[in-house]
Amino acid sequence: PGAPGTPAYTDLAALAAAVDDGLPAPRWVLCPLARPEGEVPRAVRAVTHRALDLVQRWLADDRFADSRLVFVTEGAAAPDATDLVLAPVWGLVRAAEAENPGRFVLADLDGASGSHDRLTAVLATGEPEFALHDGTLRVPRLVRGAGPDTAAAPDPEGTVLVTGGTGGLGALIARRLVTEHGVR
């Protein structure tokens, strides 16, 4: 799904050879990931293995240190997604992006030509992941949720069990239970 006249390569090795021959390393490299045929478990393994291989080869190749590998999926992040085969790729690439900021992008399109037409403009915003569906751009954001006005207090006659609380976070939680809620 590149712009007309944009060079296309069969794989990263072919792109690397072109860079070796003098082509400037591109700002973005689009990698469309289609849903493999077959039953869900086999399809998930196939597409996830392909994505992992691409991530590893991308990170190992210094020629692309200033480029971003864009995984383009269709329907993986749709609001009404029912086929979850491509969803594990999003988890894998999110983890890779968290460990290697600025190296990867996740783009989910709906297949409409308008979404493909807007792809370059959205990539230019620097968002590490987004979905373009029905002409609407969606990006993940954390927002403070509306909580209850008062938190439910533990039953003073009950038992509170904090498991895995041997580290700093567990100690903070245990201390708060004692000071704020009277847990003994």
Report CA dihedral (54, 60, 61, 66) to the nearest 10 degrees.
90
Q: How far apart are CA 175 and CA 181, in angstroms?
A: 10
Q: How far apart are CA 63 and CA 72, in angstroms?
A: 21
| pLDDT for 52 beyond 80 | yes
pTM for this prediction? 0.76
145 belongs to a structural domain: no
Predicted confidence band of residue 3 (pLDDT cuts 50, 70, 90): low
List, for residues 81-134, the tens digit of each pLDDT value: 777 899 999 999 999 999 999 999 999 998 877 788 888 899 999 999 999 988
**Range of the structural domain that residue 157 is part of:** 150-184
1 belongs to a structural domain: no
Domain of 48, CATH number, reads 3.40.50.11460
Measured in whole angstroms, how far is the alpha carbon of residue 85 from the centre of its chain?
14
7 belongs to a structural domain: no
> What is the rounded average pLDDT for all residues in the chain?
88
Measured in whole angstroms, how far is the alpha carbon of residue 28 from the centre of its chain?
16
List, for residues 138-165, the tens digit of each pLDDT value: 999 988 887 777 767 777 778 888 777 6
Token pair 């999003």: residue: 90
Q: How far apart are CA 59 and CA 65, in angstroms?
A: 8
Count of the separate structural domains present in the chain: 2
